[in-house]
Structure 1
């Protein structure tokens, strides 16, 4: 049994004691008196937490918090449902098309800085900070400032600690600070940043992040250490700032349950112990808030970046395109496939495909090949600056009645869910297929078969997942490239399926309503505008007036509007005629005003002539 289990009873006693002697919950009529610059917001991220994993048995502290404050029952991850995509959405309040970060891994085409092009893995502080340095993006890797930079700009306190990669997005210019200003000249003086590959602080305390722990719970010791940093360093510093009338933001991003769910699989003992670890860390943070006497000025938001599913088959799309004669070779740059687990980003060489006609021809080949396969989900195509005239085709529905369709038959426009970025969007974003209602009882566990589909077709391989305790619904096909780390039975995310799109969010504190269930659609891009409203800071507008696209979740705030306005749902379909079959891809989308919330997607192959 993990050490986190053994701590549970001790921490529970400590928490109950502190609650009994700590500051009382602020009354509703006094909450607004504390609104503004003297507020503290703690944003705690449970990486990869599915909402159905929050139960009284497995996560009692989070279960209780969600019922004390606000539970957002229709919360959404941003597609692609990847950590770095959603970290940037949480940090900026903007979707990938606005903030510019479209994957955990992405491709930078040939340029003066990268003459041969470069596949970038963004899941590390050094990768983000190097890109954001003086030689490449010069502080503007992200299309607009983050909420952390927003608070720092106004003289507040900022602490960002936890998993490397997503933490670096929140404070992506921290390595450029000179004399209290960052590379773009904005103030940044009172701060703490700590991840595995970067530590920086304005104070003089010694911070030493422990090495990777070799326990069944992945990075257990690091998550415990980061929780201690929050309790012993970040929260006391935030209190000093708030007492002086300054805003304070503490971001705590845990590795778990994501890392353990990846390597062990959903419904396994290590995955359950990872939930317990996160829940005990939450208890420690809440106990510290009470002990410091800042409960009347501290709002605590718990959110996950994405959901999760079990790998059914591993796919190596790059190899399959080579075998199909669409891509020249594994290392060729005519067609660059960047694997991202449940989604792949596909880029065409601008020199080898210099005209819209040549691009359209090869992209249609890729789409036709992919959508004929059992593993393919919805595909989103980048609208070109100018598109060739499209002749009418049998079964091709013209775009005018369906403005959400992409310019490649069978695809959706990247614009429809906020993916399109004029400078950085890939030519295609291919989501792999999720089966939300099938479970992993014959997939997870070392004695079950594991399969890979690549250049030579389907092959078997060892299953590296842990023993299954109880079945969990939600299966997905996934591309992890040539890496042998992941197999059938392990956990994955990134696709446009229901189990990955729907993530967890809850909040409590003096600014949030109590015992309230928000049934409006909400999303990770709505978190930053909500924090901005609570702290009373100026919005994080970027160069050229680039602004967050999310909305403040005002209906969940005590002195906010009771209604978010009317919402409605929309079904979008894209049809593709293939030899002997019609591929019908469907998106289910909810709307509040002009903001779309992708709910789920389905794919169906119908024999030709079966549709009305």
Structure 2
């Protein structure tokens, strides 16, 4: 039986849970205190938005849904280059090559098959919005983005005006979208699930820094948008039956120095580039855990050994289980046919940055300045996410210690609506409504290589669910 008739999902891209305070985000802080919070909520690996979002909406890990990195290589879609999934054209190349974007249905498709609806308002990249509900066009469903509207979302500029251009901070665009979400989607449409995604504070974390005054202003602005959603709920006759879920998709660390991975690989004798051009043997992704696709995978052990010897490297992960000195991607649910041969994380530490914000690392992304935020890897601050629920059957004032991650969100929504979740890797977080016990997660240590005691992956194990964090040795960028 359904436990609620309506769920509202509000996403804060990149929000670190330790940054949520009564000063920075008073409405979210009070919401979390009054509902159920999952204190050990985590992202997936790599902790990138366009990997995390399909994990959230499908209830499956990257190795199941197949969107394994923000930048990925797929020989069928683009044999000569790495695709950037924020771009509509590269998303379309994947769909053209494989007939669909994700290997499994999204939450929106599952709801539609049961005669229910998902409405989406998105302010992140076009690619991430498509990854949240890739079937929206075919289903003529509501998916709105400032640069792309499908289904009944078309034509709303006549009422709400044109969306502001993307800026840093991106709060004008977020405020515009939030008004559309509250006044039209929530107030006038009957969808069982309504989802809003704020591109902040991720944008400002990246380009101004996690602890910057601009980032705190962006957090206050998106908190005000969240408050509008909560005020709308309080005016509804069925308010006691409406469940609100607030979450983020990943966290951030402060980038303390740049690493030019392509140049370092070339200096080490490896012909690397951003595509498989003439003479290139390794195609590189980017971000906080760059993927390395090898023209000849037999060279993976030699490359892994070299990476493990570098002072700037953290854990090295591999698609194949047999590569010495690596953690198998399968251990984190991230192995797929299009996964990189190797993925490297960067050395970092839990030490505070110049603003006193804990969590530092290295950056291999040229447009993010030193001092800006970065994510993608396995640092505790990159993996920790906000996950809180309130309303309807949700327990008030509860803090759950159980392991939880993004793949649990869609099964939880389906359970609240009385629907099955077969085929999902995640499971319903029934602790939130008192139908499952809470328990501290068990942790095991996976040691990638003897002699590197500072590099250990702490994996949360709860029903064989890979999840967790790493503590990397600290290293400065190479000269």
Q: TM-score, normalised by structure 1?
A: 0.72
Asked if the contact 2:348/2:474 (under 8 Å) is kept, the reply is no
Q: Say which one has the larger Rg.
A: 1
- Tell me if the contact between 1:166 and 1:253 (Cα under 8 Å) persists in the aligned partners: no
Instruction: Give 5+ residue unaligned stretches, structure 1.
Output: 1-31, 178-187, 242-247, 354-358, 384-405, 442-469, 542-546, 606-612
**What secondary structure does 2:282 align onto?**
strand
Question: What SS does the aligned partner of 2:316 have?
Answer: strand
Closer, same or farther in 2 for the Cα pair 1:281/1:329, shift >3 Å? closer
Counterpart pick for 2:383 among 461, 479, 501: 501
Q: Which residue of 2 aligns with 1:439?
A: 352
Whole-angstrom CA distance in 2 between matches of 1:594 and 1:329? 37
C-alpha distance in 2, partners of 1:329/1:272? Answer: 37
Give the secondary structure class of the aligned counterpart of 1:293.
Answer: coil
User: 1:474/1:496 Cα in 2 relative to 1: closer, same or farther (>3 Å)?
Assistant: same
Partner of 1:223: 174
Q: Secondary structure at the match of 1:148?
A: helix
The Cα shift of 1:317 comes to 1.2
Q: Are residue 35 (structure 1) and residue 3 (structure 2) matched?
A: yes
Deviation of 1:293 (Å): 2.7
Please point out which of 428, 449, 470 is paired with 1:575: 449
Task: Identify the match of residue 430 of structure 1 among 344, 358, 364.
Answer: 344
CA distance in 1, matches of 2:346, 2:36: 33
**Judging changes above 3 Å, is the alpha-carbon distance between structure 1 residues 536 and 497 closer, same or farther for their aligned structure 2 residues?**
same
> Which residue matches 2:232?
288
Partner of 2:25: 59
Is the 8 Å Cα contact of residues 59 and 426 (structure 2) preserved in structure 1? yes
CA displacement at 1:221 relative to structure 2: 1.3
**Conservation of the 8 A alpha-carbon contact between 2:108 and 2:135:** no
Which position in structure 2 is the counterpart of 1:348? 294
2:193 counterpart of 1:249: yes
Residues 130 and 365 of structure 1, relative CA distance in 2, 3 Å threshold: closer
Q: What is the root-mean-square deviation in Å for CA atoms of aligned residues?
A: 2.2
SS of the aligned residue for 1:341 comes to coil
Please say if residues 433 and 497 of structure 1, whose CA atoms lie closer than 8 Å, have aligned partners that are also in contact. no
Q: Who is 1:401 aligned against?
A: none
| Residue of structure 2 in register with 1:479 after alignment | 364
Question: Which of these residues, 88, 92, 102, is aligned with residue 142 of structure 1?
Answer: 102
1:107 and 2:73 correspond: yes
Residue 513 and residue 260 in structure 1: after superposition, are their counterparts in 2 closer, same or farther (change >3 A)? same
Q: Shift of residue 289 of structure 1? A: 1.7
Give me the whole-angstrom Cα distance separating, in 1, the residues matched to 2:388 and 2:344.
31
Equivalent residue for 1:388? none
* Residue pair 1:195, 1:209 contacting (<8 A) in 2 also: no
Task: Give ranges in structure 2 of 5+ residues lacking alignment.
Answer: none
Tell me, in whole angstroms, the C-alpha distance in 2 between the residues paired with 1:328 and 1:104: 19
Q: Find the aligned partners of 1:566 and 1:73 in 2 and give their Cα distance.
A: 10
Task: Choose from 249, 258, 261 the match for 2:202.
Answer: 258
- Return the offset for 1:471: 2.0
Q: CA deviation at 1:230?
A: 1.2
Deviations 1:2-32 (A, max 9, x none): xxxxxxxxxxxxxxxxxxxxxxxxxxxxxx7
The alpha-carbon deviation at position 523 of structure 1 amounts to: 0.7
Matched, 1:98 2:51: no
Give the structure-2-normalised TM-score.
0.92
* C-alpha contact 1:372 1:583 (8 A) present in aligned 2: no
Residue 266 of structure 2: aligned partner: 322
Post-superposition offset of 1:108: 1.2
Distance in 1 (CA, whole Å) between partners of 2:472 and 2:464 is 23
2:285 alignment partner, SS class: strand
CA distance in 2 between partners of 1:271 and 1:200 (Å): 31
CA distance in 1, matches of 2:291, 2:439: 35
